[in-house]
Amino acid sequence: MKVIKCNFSGVYSLEDFLDGTVLDFSSLEGTECYCSAEAAGAIRCALAPYGPCGIHWIDSGDYHYMSLFIQELIREPYKLILFDNHPDDQPSAFGPGLISCGSWAADARRLPFCRDDAPAAYISIDKDVLSREYARTNWDQGEMTLDELFARIRDISLTHRIIGVDICGELTLQKGACSEDVSINSETNRRIQEFLLNLPGFE
């Protein structure tokens, strides 16, 4: 199964979990929390050869809009399933026309193949849905356990063919991560990736 790591902050270089293809966006300007038109064009070009299938690690929640760009590559009816402590469907705080980490989901739900009644699913996970026992993020967090997340995804796989999954919610050094935060996130990422790699019905 394809595993893609999208590097914006360098956080994945600190974490010890399974390898994947690295797409380096660290030198792009206009990417943190919102995405400029110029950056969006470069990111779309980089993602296009890999398609929407597999596991996409997309750095911190500040870059959750990456999920939209991945879903734009889907060419069949699918249901978007979002695990997030925030709805991410608010009007962009950065002005009209700018995709942001808080507005991307509304844009995704308007994509032509995104439908409620579809046999396939695309899953987007922001680890801020998890309690601090399992994840350390730079946003306020929920109370879900990792086992609860796995159980819900497993249930989805029983009724839908899963096209792809993206995961964000890292805590960067720039946002105050300590060694304990990095260790917790690294272990959770390892467990998430191993779970997905062994999930029946996932491409």
At residue 118, does pLDDT exceed 80?
yes
Q: Give the model's pLDDT for residue 74.
A: 98
Q: Are 127 and 167 in contact (CB under 8 A)?
A: yes
Q: Which of 46, 14, 43, 16 is nearest to 28 (CA)?
A: 43
Q: Give the model's pLDDT for residue 70.
A: 98
CATH (domain of 87): 3.40.800.10
Question: How many distinct structural domains can be found in the chain?
Answer: 1
Q: Which of 6-15, 75-84, 115-124 has the lowest mean pLDDT?
A: 6-15
Q: Give the model's pLDDT for residue 21.
A: 94
Q: Considering the domain boundaries, does residue 202 fall inside one?
A: no
Q: For residue 106, give every residue at least 6 positions away whose Cβ sits within 8 Å of its Cβ, in sequence order, or none.
A: 88, 89, 90
Tokens 């999930």 belong to 199
Tokens 């996970």 belong to 125
Q: Give the model's pLDDT for residue 103.
A: 84
pLDDT tens-digit profile of 57-110? 999 999 999 999 999 999 999 999 999 998 767 665 555 567 888 889 999 999
CB hemisphere CA count around 136 (13 angstroms): 18
Q: Considering the domain boundaries, does residue 113 fall inside one?
A: yes
Q: Give the model's pLDDT for residue 19.
A: 78
Q: Considering the domain boundaries, does residue 173 fall inside one?
A: yes
Q: Considering the domain boundaries, does residue 203 fall inside one?
A: no
Provide the residue range defining the domain that includes 41: 3-197
CA–CA–CA angle 112, 71, 183 (5° rounding): 155
Q: Give the model's pLDDT for residue 32.
A: 92
Q: Give the model's pLDDT for residue 101.
A: 81
Does the global pTM surpass 0.85? yes
Q: Considering the domain boundaries, does residue 27 fall inside one?
A: yes
